[in-house]
Amino acid sequence: MLMRTDPFRELDRLTQQVFGNTAGTWSRPTAMPMDAYRAGEEFVVAFDLPGVDPDAIELDVERNVLTVKAERRPVTTGGNVEMQVAERPLGVFSRQLFLGDTLDTERINASYEAGVLTLRIPIAEKAKPRKITIDSADRDRREIDA
């Protein structure tokens, strides 16, 4: 049998039962931790979703708003099981990101490995630096950085 030594953990559990996400109330979305960074010509976002089945993850993009929803369902333990500790949150997890116009939302690549959902969003061609040619009647053509 497992023993708890943290007296505040029980208080947290009771608070979640009254106000938050528990196995019996799956209606309130819970936030999921993430990292976001730019790597070369793409923007990478990684979400922690341990214990979530890949089929229970939904990704939607509408008007530059990316919505990630995932559901962690209870594990079927059988009929003759007495739960001793239940700390892993169950239910719906949700997160929305507002994507800038500089990202190409038509070419988002998603992968899921070891409980981490990774999205790779390319930088749009219109946002990349480019050279602009300047024409002059009295001089030769030259290029400048834009």
| 134 token code pair | 């300047």
Domain count, the chain: 1
The alpha-helical segments, DSSP class H, found in the chain are 7-19
Report whether 43 contacts 36 (CB < 8 A): yes
pLDDT at residue 139 in the model: 61
pLDDT reported for residue 56? 94
Block means of pLDDT (10 residues each) for the chain, 146 residues, are 48 60 47 88 94 94 92 81 80 89 92 96 78 74 56
pLDDT of residue 115: 93
Instruction: Please give the angle made by the CA atoms of 122, 52 and 40, to the nearest 5 degrees.
Output: 20
What would the DSSP string read from start to end of 6-45?
-HHHHHHHHHHHHHS-BTTB--S-B---EEEEEETTEEEE
pLDDT number for residue 77: 74
Query: What pTM was estimated for this model as a whole?
Result: 0.66
Q: Give the domain range for residue 67.
A: 28-75+86-145
How many angstroms separate the CA atoms of 50 and 7, rounded?
A: 26
Q: According to the model, what pLDDT value does residue 140 have?
A: 55
The domain that holds 53 is classified in CATH as: 2.60.40.790
Residue 74 has a pLDDT of 81
How far apart (Å, rounded) are the C-alpha atoms in residues 142 and 136?
A: 9
Residue 133 located in a structural domain: yes
